[in-house]
Chain A
């Protein structure tokens, strides 16, 4: 069923009796061409692009719980392409362009809102770094704009400009950036993939990978064995657990990132804002809540909850940036498990096991990458070669020294 304004009017006049469930609940077939492990944003996007762009119709997505119940259902919804390094920026700009056409592509309202992002700077050195980053963005076809303090004041008069220690000197703006409704992204990809015949199998946990003579033959699940010519793993957060079934150790640690939402307020924040003197980023949802977050907790964990020192640190960042936030009451907070990779950049690649492919290591920036991650992983699965914008995301780059370390902190995952 295609959605349209006409459809809404028709259903309104006929008592809304014509709406159908947007995806089927199939039982697994004994064998598929491609099985994607993980029904989150990236796995469902992979299924969508596999079926729609790469013509693969005999595809299944297997999900342990319900689709969209992991990090795509628990993030701060920011979409942007303001990276600097060659390995990253073309990929994220590709993703940004996919976001811009996503709702038409999926025929689904993902509430994509290009309200812009501003990264504030507080020192001359930071200004230089942001100029460099902005130029790298422009060279890769993205948009970037440098604002001085007066221009920032004009757009965001409520910020703490004259802080004695960290005065706001200006900001780097990407106008095309913004936010999207995270759940709707997962549901939109799922609905589209389902319409192209992809089987989305929920409540089906992968308990093992069947590997014989170095080749992956399929997945053992709680609903029995499912054979596959190719298996793609897109389970960021749990990559270590799933890939250990293939005996692999990864350049990844699992960490928890906390995020916070205030009570609903009238519109106060016109765009996404990041603080340059501490780790704090904030936007306002369409419902009115201030959505914000900061650093990861910093220790290995698979528990979807964090500890209080980081809560304090994030709130201090918020108070330093915009003291008015102290008047808002916190409505809810949560923690999600992240694949923190050794250089802060993701991996989309084959593995040493034939027929087994890996997508992970998204750190805490996976949401913005969802469409491009799916597109590039589908390209890899369908054609057995990396997509041109994802050639740097190799699994062996740590062995060969070709790391993509945007922050320049080395192999210390909790600092990325």
Chain B
């Protein structure tokens, strides 16, 4: 697979390590009433879709940026690559 890095252009996927579903960006509030349940779901449950999947890749052998890659789990086709920083900020995170 080739991941089209937003800053560096097309890079081989072997330069990256894979973390998982991009929902891991949305860490629950540890002070919330339902924090225990929210962290269980955050830590352990996954949508695991057959089809389009947003996921976190880390450019370990490159510029060490985190990317959100939108990839089809049935075909391995990558339709979108964004910096995870931009995705997190768009969701209202400060950093």
The answer to whether A253 touches B48, judged by C-beta atoms less than 8 angstroms apart, is yes
Which residues from 41 to 75 on chain B have a C-beta closer than 8 Å to any C-beta of chain A? 41, 43-50, 53, 55, 71, 73-75
Interface string of B1-25 (1 = CB under 8 A from A): 1000000000011100111110000
The answer to whether B44 touches A302, judged by C-beta atoms less than 8 angstroms apart, is no
**A390 at the binding interface (Cβ < 8 Å):** no
The answer to whether B20 touches A309, judged by C-beta atoms less than 8 angstroms apart, is no
**B40 at the binding interface (Cβ < 8 Å):** yes
**B76 at the binding interface (Cβ < 8 Å):** yes
**A116 at the binding interface (Cβ < 8 Å):** no
**Could you say which of A52-60, A244-252, A320-328 contacts chain B?**
A244-252
Residue numbers in B under 8 Å from A411 (CB-CB): 43-44
**A240 at the binding interface (Cβ < 8 Å):** yes
* Interface range for B: 20 to 34
Pick from B1, B17, B19, B44: contact of A398, CB below 8 A.
B44
Which residues from 104 to 160 on chain A have a C-beta closer than 8 Å to any C-beta of chain B? none
Residue numbers in B under 8 Å from A257 (CB-CB): none
Give how many A residues have a beta carbon under 8 Å from the other chain's beta carbons. Answer: 25
Minimum C-beta distance from B89 to chain A (A): 25
Residue numbers in A under 8 Å from B13 (CB-CB): 299, 307, 309
The answer to whether A398 touches B73, judged by C-beta atoms less than 8 angstroms apart, is no
A303-B75, A398-B40, A398-B44 in contact; A309/B53 too (CB < 8 A)?
no
Q: Report Cα–Cα, A253/B95, bound state, in Å.
A: 28
Q: Report Cα–Cα, A244/B45, bound state, in Å.
A: 12
The answer to whether B46 touches A249, judged by C-beta atoms less than 8 angstroms apart, is yes
**A383 at the binding interface (Cβ < 8 Å):** no
Minimum C-beta distance from B63 to chain A (A): 19
Minimum C-beta distance from B76 to chain A (A): 6
The answer to whether B18 touches A303, judged by C-beta atoms less than 8 angstroms apart, is no
Q: Report Cα–Cα, A300/B24, bound state, in Å.
A: 14
The answer to whether A249 touches B47, judged by C-beta atoms less than 8 angstroms apart, is yes
The answer to whether A300 touches B43, judged by C-beta atoms less than 8 angstroms apart, is no
Minimum C-beta distance from B16 to chain A (A): 9
Minimum C-beta distance from B20 to chain A (A): 7
Residue numbers in B under 8 Å from A254 (CB-CB): 48, 50, 73
Q: Report Cα–Cα, A252/B1, bound state, in Å.
A: 23
The answer to whether B76 touches A414, judged by C-beta atoms less than 8 angstroms apart, is no
What are some 8 contacts across the A-B interface (CB < 8 A)? A300-B73, A301-B73, A302-B73, A303-B74, A307-B1, A398-B40, A399-B40, A411-B44
- A residues adjacent to B (C-beta < 8 A): 238, 240-241, 244, 249-254, 298-303, 307, 309, 342, 398-399, 411-414
In the complex, given contacts A301-B74, A398-B40, what are 8 additional A-B residue pairs having Cβ atoms less than 8 angstroms apart?
A: A240-B50, A241-B50, A250-B46, A298-B17, A300-B20, A303-B73, A307-B1, A411-B44
Q: Which 4 A-B pairs have the closest CB atoms?
A: A240-B48, A309-B14, A398-B44, A249-B45
